[in-house]
Amino acid sequence: MERLITKLALRDDLTAKERDRLVALVSRVREFAPGDEIVREEIPVEHSSIILQGLSCRQKVLRDGRRQITAFHIPGDFCDLHSFMLKRMEHTVLAMTACRVALVPHERLVQVTNEEPHLTRMLWISTLIDAAIHREWIISMGRRSTFARLAHLFCELFVRLRTVGLTKGLEYSLPVTQSDLSDAMGISLVHTNRTLAALRQRGLVTFANRTVNIHDWAALQRAAGFDPTYLHLERQPR
Amino acid sequence: MERLITKLALRDDLTAKERDRLVALVSRVREFAPGDEIVREEIPVEHSSIILQGLSCRQKVLRDGRRQITAFHIPGDFCDLHSFMLKRMEHTVLAMTACRVALVPHERLVQVTNEEPHLTRMLWISTLIDAAIHREWIISMGRRSTFARLAHLFCELFVRLRTVGLTKGLEYSLPVTQSDLSDAMGISLVHTNRTLAALRQRGLVTFANRTVNIHDWAALQRAAGFDPTYLHLERQPR
DNA sequence: CGGACTGTTGAGAAATTTCAATGTTGGTGG
DNA sequence: CCACCAACATTGAAATTTCTCAACAGTCCG
């Protein structure tokens, strides 16, 4: 929870009361094993989930079996806050590692949004940033080379993980397979493998042993066309 | 404004007072010519925009000149409600036709969100649906053939326009060029042209004279893998 | 009538996928 | 401790998709 609060507080101050209300949202904590579905497509839910520990992703499997990952959720992410209002989920949220997840009953969210307008706006913002990340992915998939696209993802995750204290220097853990990366980038596994090799050879970044190691942060950003503005990490009173 | 209210009311009832407050949000109405920037990237704004008439898009131009369209905004869309909280915009909103736009000062939005929690949730929902549309685009760009991708776009726009009464039968006006479609789908102009020809030849849909004509709605949906659930058009009390 | 914008077509080049084989690693049971 | 298995990563090569370049046609409008 500390991480969620840290993230929200980046954008505007939270009062002690607001922090308390956030903490009180949680009804219980659940553990998921790698591969478990945290939220299953189609099944209406009565609570939203905050990732406390572990990595999860939002994905959709098409009828022909192809899979697309639309987002990664890291600790501190309110990963399906939107299910609070859009009960029917079109996607599955999948635990990629062991995950510890805080469950927030929707009726508590209704209460909080009735009583705490400022906190409501702060939560709203976090969903708006999710949308901004989606737009950046669309740009990546549409108009960036696979090389730049992968570089951009590594940049995005680096910045997001750093905000919640999950990087060490220029290194961070990204416990996914190359196949997962492929499904996030919309390319084939073979091509992912070759593009990773190219990123490595150019001395930008290495992805090995489920760890991302950035060799040249400035060059990586340049190659990716990465501009962190869209993550809205600066203070912006609401 | 009627269209915005229609759309919101699809999901849950709005009281007369809430409708009035929505209408009272608007400070003035501006007209834009085709090609005008309704919202310019980087420039902090003090109001949000509701499209009353005309077609606009959200786009980003990369340093190398390539362009990606991330969304189309149709009449009734609160096209940059998120700027209310994320002042710095990373994208430009461009008028593709002559547009009539209602301007909503951010301070009125703060007031409304302070005083009308239910209406706030309804507005929040509309941004969540924008995000759901983004995710569907990511899926399209990542894992659907260009054929299915274009088909999917035509399905999406058909359903969205129909909700605000802007279709006639299986036909609707889509005043964009093939080049615009290319920049939305992340493919080249030539390839767009050929894919449109294929859609036409297979008897699914024709795009000509800036008009989309659906020949076989069932087959088009099937080819696109289109499932309108993500647009959340059913009633869902909040 | 001419020019600007848009749409169409052909053909070679480049990116990406698919298929298929091989290498590597880490865990497990004997 | 080791053989073996499963999952993951790597590589080569042909097939396919998509892009780029380039030319030309159609339309609208001043």
B236:A87 CB<8 A: yes
Is residue B150 predicted with pLDDT exceeding 80?
A: yes
Residues above pLDDT 70, as percent of chain A:
99
For strand D, list residues 142-181 of chain B whose Cβ lies within 7 Å of it: 145-146
Structure token pair of residue A100 = 């510890």
Write the pLDDT tens digit of every residue in A38-66: 998 777 789 999 999 999 999 999 999 99
A197 touches strand D (CB under 7 A): yes
Write the pLDDT tens digit of every residue in B82-95: 998 887 888 999 99
Whole-number pLDDT of residue A236: 67
Name the residue facing B139 among A70, A127, A238 (closest C-beta).
Answer: A70
pLDDT band per the 50, 70, 90 thresholds, residue A173? very high
Report helix, strand or coil for B75. Answer: coil
Q: Please report the residues numbered 139 through 168 in chain B whose beta carbons come closer than 8 angstroms to any beta carbon of chain A.
A: 139, 141-144
A202 touches strand C (CB under 7 A): no
Write the pLDDT tens digit of every residue in B34-58: 999 998 877 778 999 999 999 999 9
Q: A105-109 contacts: CB < 8 A, separation 24 or more?
A: A105/A27, A105/A46, A105/A47, A106/A45, A106/A46, A106/A47, A106/A48, A108/A24, A108/A25, A108/A27, A109/A25, A109/A48, A109/A81, A109/A84
Mean pLDDT, rounded, for A20-31: 96
For the beta carbon of residue A126, count every other beta carbon within 10 angstroms: 18
Mean pLDDT, rounded, for B22-30: 96
Residue nearest to nucleotide D21 (CA to C1'): B190
Closest CA to A180 of A98, A90, A58, A92: A58
Name the residue facing B127 among A66, A113, A127 (closest C-beta).
Answer: A127
Alpha-carbon span A19 to B96, nearest angstrom: 44
* C1' of C4 to CA of B177 (Å): 15
Is residue B59 predicted with pLDDT exceeding 90?
A: yes
Mean pLDDT, rounded, for B131-135: 98
H or E element that contains A163: helix A146-163
Q: What is the pTM of this model?
A: 0.96
A235 vs B: CB within 8 A: no
Whole-number pLDDT of residue A90: 87
A164 to chain B nearest CA, in Å? Answer: 20
H or E element that contains B6: helix B2-11
Closest CA to A174 of A198, A130, A208, A225: A208
Write the pLDDT tens digit of every residue in B189-218: 999 999 999 999 999 999 999 999 999 999
A145 touches strand C (CB under 7 A): yes
Q: Please report the residues numbered 76 through 115 in chain B whose beta carbons come closer than 8 angstroms to any beta carbon of chain A.
A: 82, 85-88, 90-91, 110, 113-115
Angle at CA of residue A47, ends A41 and A48, nearest 5°: 75
B8 vs A: CB within 8 A: no
Q: B232: phi > 0 → left, psi -120 to 50 → alpha, else beta; which?
A: left
Backbone angles phi and psi of A125, in degrees to 5: -50, -45
Chain B residues in contact with A39 by the CB 8 A cut-off are none
B79 to chain A nearest CA, in Å? Answer: 13
Cβ(B108)–Cβ(B25) below 8 Å:
yes
Mean pLDDT, rounded, for B135-139: 98
Mean pLDDT, rounded, for B136-156: 98
Residues above pLDDT 70, as percent of chain B:
99
A90:B227 CB<8 A: yes
B236 vs A: CB within 8 A: yes
Alpha-carbon span A203 to B124, nearest angstrom: 43
Q: Testing the interface with A: which of B45, B70, B126 to mutate, by most A Cβ within 10 A?
A: B70
Write the pLDDT tens digit of every residue in A91-144: 999 999 999 999 999 999 999 999 999 999 999 999 999 999 999 999 999 999
Write the pLDDT tens digit of every residue in A131-148: 999 999 999 999 999 999
Write the pLDDT tens digit of every residue in B94-117: 999 999 999 999 999 999 999 999
For chain A, the average pLDDT equals 95
B117 to chain A nearest CA, in Å? Answer: 5
Q: Give the residue on A whose Cα is nearest the Cα of B223.
A: A63
Q: Give the residue on B whose Cα is nearest the Cα of A130.
A: B131
